[in-house]
A and B are shown apart, each in its own frame.
Chain A
């Protein structure tokens, strides 16, 4: 099986992506959304004669808001991000954005999250990630409790976790890059997308491992001696179409959402797309080959 045979190439590719992700994270870091930091987000669309971003900045400075981030959105609108605004602050902001009553605009949305809620949501996100990781680990351990020959079941679990880490680190790294260049923010939706990717990816990995398990059992029943590497290779071959097709149908709907869906969930959809591609890659090119590599090491040790 070519995938298992040339696994070093695929490892290198993953390693390269992981390295790039980690470096981007270290260099640029993540840009957190207002649901984690607290703050306000105002989206306006001017009806005509849209002011320039610097005019908007100036107008905001007039009412004492100096550290707003202003991003154009749509043809004639701005997304204004500021520290937490009370309702009174908010009305001062909407007043000043008329530039002395010379412009009219529609207020499309206004989100305001107090610092206490922000830190609570952050804590919740961390708890959710930890709980999902724990639950999935337990789930994998349970799913593979009966396989122990020639690779013990906890190793399936550990390999699956390595694959999961891969699937989470890559989109996160991508968001460091997207955040730096395009202003993508890490918010509760991002975390939700990551957790969905975790569920999806582990499900992909399980299907392959499940097949390895089945083939091992069959060999045992029929007294066939087949090297572990070949069993894994055969299992990957048998499941690769399914893995790719399932990911494809999911990607189809996500692409529809990304290009045609609502603006507010565009980054969320992109996170899912990146994560699901990474997840499919890891379950085919990383998970099962890793099992083989590990087993190989064991055999070498025994020989010594």
Chain B
């Protein structure tokens, strides 16, 4: 046990913590400044004539769902849903297929009548809003894309101005400039004159987003906005949504399947499982191995909260390979072994090292030392215990450094016990047995 360098002192108390009330107050102040800006915008002011909108600085939620039951034809699909959404929040609904995410979204956008409970926008039950007024406050983007005929993308985006135009739907110069702005925000300006049916799915999705933006809503509801998009468009779309939330203070509520994207883009995550809200909270609290594993009933794969990604799980059987890795040198070898269906041990790694994170999900056992500490006796002993049963040892780092120097002992140990020792080649495309 001995031989550990004493842990360094903790940081001084005068450095504020990221979650401290002081910083939160500063952020709140910035938010209320945005809120005031919004009220000054002419069209918003007009819609305010009907419902006075107080600024959200005092923390009153813009959108509140309490004890909602939703479903079709009196058949309850989800129940007990509670959610508060503030201006500028990005809320992600995650959960398995058929868990009721879309049903919740359809209910809060008034496509379905709630079976019980309350949904309030600005403190007023949504069913009591006039349709046009509601449309000026809440826009949607649905999974099904319209099938149109001879309509340009600009025509589609202009449709978003519907709640603001007069009897015949003629657009004013202001409407036109808002359409231009929405198309610019969603990066679809160059598609303006293209036929909506003759562009790619990803482009169509962004045009539909531009349409929703042109509606100038305070709440934007999106049902699986990233489905069918390639990774570039997914990132593009989420960046646009974050931009809307942070610069225009729009509250974004979306259902999403891509966990890594949800983790990276949402301020708040709601997990829906089997018709109930299984868990809700900040992404840091939700995206843990346990919660995600339980939410999706993962039996083989595992979710890694650091990477925000899912591994397909470790193979069954005894391990006959030991991998010395560290500082990212091992990940390619780990994945290769997994693809070949071979169980393996990994060591000696340091906690927090990305190889260590990965090995926890993939290796039969990962021998790890505490972060920043040199490898101790107990750890090296455990590694040797495992190594004895192995037929080969793969060494990934080109050289050992100060804190993992004792891995060299493992190489010597292997050589003296007749265990095959090999280096991981660059690009690692080896393998025999």
Are A and B bound to each other? no
Which residues of A does B touch, CB under 8 Å?
none
Which residues of B does A touch, CB under 8 Å?
none
